[in-house]
Amino acid sequence: MDEVWLGIAEAGRLFRSGELSPVALTRKLLERIERLDPLCNAFLLRTPELALAQARQAGEELAGGLDRGPMHGIPYALKDIIDVAGLPTTCHSKIRREHVAQETAAVVQRLLQAGAVMLGKTSLHEFAIGGPTEELPWPPARNPWNLALHPGGSSSGSGTALAAGLAPAALGTDTGGSVRNPATSCGLIGMKPTFGLVSCEGVFPLAPSLDHVGPMTRGVEDNALLLEALTGRPGAYTSMLGMRLTHLRIGVIEHFYTEDDTAHPEQVSALEAALGVLRSLGAGVEPIRISKLAAWRDCGRTIQQFEQYAVHRLWLKSRPLDYCALSLSKLQPGEVITQEHYEQAGVRRRALTEELARVLRDFDAVVTLSGLEMPCLIDRPDEIARTYMRNLRMPFSLTGSPALAVPTGFSRDGLPLGMQIVGKAHDEATLYAIARAYCDGTGWTERHPALIAV
Q: Residues 168-196: what's their mean pLDDT? A: 98
Query: Given this model, what pLDDT does residue 1 score?
Result: 61
What is the Cα–Cα distance from 183 to 162, expressed in whole angstroms?
9
The answer to whether residue 239 is catalytic is no
Answer yes or no: is pLDDT of 382 > 90: no
pLDDT band of residue 348 (cuts 50, 70, 90) is: very high
- 64: Cβ contacts below 8 Å, ≥ 6 apart: none
Helix (H) or strand (E) holding 408, with range, is: strand 403-410
Closest CA to 217 of 427, 437, 7, 24: 7
What is the Cα–Cα distance from 245 to 237, expressed in whole angstroms?
16
Please tell me the number of Cα atoms within 13 Å of 14 on its side-chain side.
18
The answer to whether residue 401 is catalytic is no
Q: What is the C-alpha radius of gyration for the chain, rounded to an integer number of angstroms? A: 20
Query: Given this model, what pLDDT does residue 145 score?
Result: 97
The catalytic residue among 154, 155, 156, 158 is 154
What is the Cα–Cα distance from 343 to 303, expressed in whole angstroms?
9
The answer to whether residue 330 is catalytic is no
Least confident range from 9-13, 342-346, 381-385: namely: 381-385
pLDDT in tens, 161-175: 999 999 999 999 999
The pTM (predicted TM-score) of the whole model is 0.97
What is the Cα–Cα distance from 268 to 371, expressed in whole angstroms?
10
**What value does the mean pLDDT of the chain take?**
97
Q: Select from 3.40.50.11540, 3.40.190.10, 3.40.1350.10, 3.90.1300.10 the CATH code of 3-295+334-446.
A: 3.90.1300.10
Domain edges within the chain: 3-295+334-446
Query: Given this model, what pLDDT does residue 314 score?
Result: 98
Answer yes or no: is pLDDT of 94 > 80: yes
Strands 43-46 and 117-122: antiparallel
The catalytic residue among 123, 155, 156, 178 is 178
Query: Given this model, what pLDDT does residue 388 score?
Result: 82
Query: Given this model, what pLDDT does residue 363 score?
Result: 98
pLDDT in tens, 203-227: 999 999 999 999 999 999 999 999 9
Q: Residues 351-357: what's their mean pLDDT? A: 98
Query: Given this model, what pLDDT does residue 453 score?
Result: 41
pLDDT band of residue 452 (cuts 50, 70, 90) is: low
pLDDT band of residue 454 (cuts 50, 70, 90) is: very low
CA angle 172, 98, 313 (to 5 degrees): 70
The catalytic residue among 79, 121, 192, 424 is 79
Query: Given this model, what pLDDT does residue 451 score?
Result: 75
Closest CA to 186 of 203, 164, 168, 171: 164
pLDDT in tens, 16-64: 999 999 999 999 999 999 999 999 999 999 999 999 999 999 999 999 9
Q: Residues 363-372: what's their mean pLDDT? A: 98
Answer yes or no: is pLDDT of 88 > 90: yes
